[in-house]
């Protein structure tokens, strides 16, 4: 018998899909609040049993090198790789996008990712913390208005392979949002500026898969 550490942060609806938020490090609480507000049941994922209990997963922003080490130390990296390969819908923001990339351009010290997205990513592509910025981003799958996107030491998608497709790019053409089947990745943090359309779009994928 597995006891789930199901924490509801906000208005949780027992009928909603069960969405995990990888809670090893980073801004997982903000994502949990947004998803709970949209009707999902939230599981904060830190253990292998929790990986088996979810219909979808959000990987938050934070520090991908630390998330990589902790996910291996906590034994959730391989179970997550397996579930991603089986089609688990996953939305990764910033460090979470890095964790979903098949190829990391500047991996150091043996940094690993979970993979799944057929993309090449470069970390810290927009400079340091104090070079953070916000921009209005056209995201055609989300319609109008543009998404206000916060970039905080974010990665860039340097190339998009044939299995993935770009969802948004900056004015200079650099790709900052992608999807591939049930997987979504954004270089930026929609969870902190009050626009929840990326989370709604992701929940649509989760619901479609369990319907
Ligand atoms: N805001 C973020 O998630 C920053 C990502 C971080 N620079 C990393 O490489 O993991």
Give per-residue pLDDT as tens, 162-174: 999 999 999 999 9
pLDDT at 12: 45
Give per-residue pLDDT as tens, 98-116: 999 999 998 888 999 999 9
158 lines ligand 1 (CB under 6 A): no
Give, for ligand 1, the residue of 30, 97, 107, 155 to mutate: max count of ligand atoms closer than 8 Å to Cβ. 155
3-state secondary structure of 110: coil
In this predicted complex, what is the ipTM?
A: 0.95
pTM: 0.93
125 lines ligand 1 (CB under 6 A): no
**Active centre residues (catalytic):** 94, 189, 191
pLDDT at 6: 45
Confidence class for position 130, pLDDT limits 50, 70, 90:
confident
Quote the percentage of the chain above a pLDDT of 70.
93
């Amino acid at each position: 018998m597995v006891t789930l550490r199901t924490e509801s942060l906000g208005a949780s609806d027992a009928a909603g899909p069960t969405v995990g938020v990888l809670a090893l490090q980073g801004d997982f609480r903000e994502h949990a609040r947004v998803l709970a507000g949209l009707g999902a049941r939230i599981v904060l994922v830190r253990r292998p049993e929790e990986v088996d209990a979810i219909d979808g997963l959000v990987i938050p922003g934070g520090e991908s090198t630390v998330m990589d080490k902790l996910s291996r130390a906590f034994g959730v990296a391989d179970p997550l790789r397996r579930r991603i390969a089986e089609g688990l819908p996953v939305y990764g923001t910033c460090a979470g996008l890095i964790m979903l990339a098949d190829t990391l351009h500047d991996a150091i010290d043996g940094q690993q990712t979970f993979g799944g997205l057929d993309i090449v990513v470069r970390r810290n592509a927009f400079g340091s913390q104090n070079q953070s910025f916000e921009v209005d981003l056209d995201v055609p799958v989300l319609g109008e208005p543009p998404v206000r996107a916060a970039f905080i030491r974010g990665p860039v998608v340097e190339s998009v392979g044939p299995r993935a497709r770009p969802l948004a790019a900056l004015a200079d053409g650099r790709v900052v949002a992608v999807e591939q089947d049930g997987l979504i990745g954004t270089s930026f943090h929609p969870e902190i500026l009050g626009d929840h359309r990326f989370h709604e779009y992701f929940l649509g994928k989760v619901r479609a898969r369990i319907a």
